[in-house]
Amino acid sequence: MLVITYVVSRAYDLPFRDADGILGGRIVLLLGTIGLFMAIDVVPRAIRRRGWRWSELRTGVPELVRERWSWRRLTIVLLGIVAFYMTYLAYRNLKSFLPLITSQDLDSNLLNFEQDVLGGTHPFDILHTLLGTGISAQVLSTVYLFFLAFVPISLGASLIVSINPLPGLWWVLTLGINWTLGTLSYYLVPTMGPWFIAPQLFADLPVTGVSRLQNALWVERLEVINDPTVTHAVQSVAGFASLHASITFSAALIAHLLGLARIVRIGLWTFFGLTMLATVYFGWHYVLDDLAGLLIGAVAVVVGALLTGNRDALRRRRETPA
């Protein structure tokens, strides 16, 4: 992804952007996150082993760090996180380049197609009628925006929660494949999403965190298009396919295949379902975007399992009696 980003940047004379601060402030946040998850991994175990007395914990915590955090394990975790963030940095730049390289002009086709299939209405109109535009909008907005925190939290938790690195590396690679295939889909089917071409169709929705985000993304998009040399902003508008759908589906599917705690599996499948609703409800995506996202998510899970030594998880679930 980094090589492709460099080649595209040079070919079209576009600047490489780190507007999210991935190479700056995000690194500090990243190191803090690693430290937090390491503490969650070690401190409770030290308390169970030595008790609450500070004099005991001063020796118990370093002892457990040495037991659970070999240089090999720490190196694997750091490499996994660095690989993810570099892939994500490349994804953000390639997505930002999109309107400067190709026209995102297929929205009317998808909008009209969905309207024709549903006999003159739109999927988001149906959801607005069924769910209403009051508390449902606020709930779905919260769910949609939680995705921004879910990815880094799940990344840290998956790599640190188990002393066996393979399940965590499966999730890291799955995320990277999602970003990569998602970027490819943006260029193959260049769209923006219903809200960005017809915001008036969503005038019945209240002001939410999502609506503020949509407006902010539109302003940044115009800034990048009007001045392609800016480096403090990125263009983040792309419809097909939905990576919110693909990544939440991947997360729920991996949790299911690994047989994680029932509450975790139920929580992730619920998060996935509500995220799917939110993508259509707010006009981020067409239904076809979400369906394509499911395909990307499934491919990412299977390929990630095969490349990280987790194929047994696929086999066990296939062989488990219904």
Provide the pLDDT confidence category of residue 36 given band limits of 50, 70 and 90. Answer: confident
pLDDT at residue 216 is higher than 80 = yes
pLDDT computed for residue 170 by the predictor: 92
CA 19 – CA 231 distance, rounded (Å):
7
Q: Which of 12-21, 104-113, 298-307 has the lowest mean pLDDT?
A: 12-21
Provide the pLDDT confidence category of residue 322 given band limits of 50, 70 and 90. Answer: very low
CA 99 – CA 197 distance, rounded (Å):
14
When pLDDT is averaged across residues 254-277 and rounded to a whole number, the result is: 94
pLDDT at residue 242 is higher than 60 = yes
- pLDDT tens-digit profile of 115-136? 888 888 899 999 999 999 999 9
pLDDT computed for residue 34 by the predictor: 74
pLDDT computed for residue 321 by the predictor: 44
CA 51 – CA 205 distance, rounded (Å):
53
Which tokens go with 295? 């395909």
pLDDT at residue 238 is higher than 80 = yes
Higher pLDDT, 132 or 24: 132
| Residue listed under structure tokens 């076809």 | 288
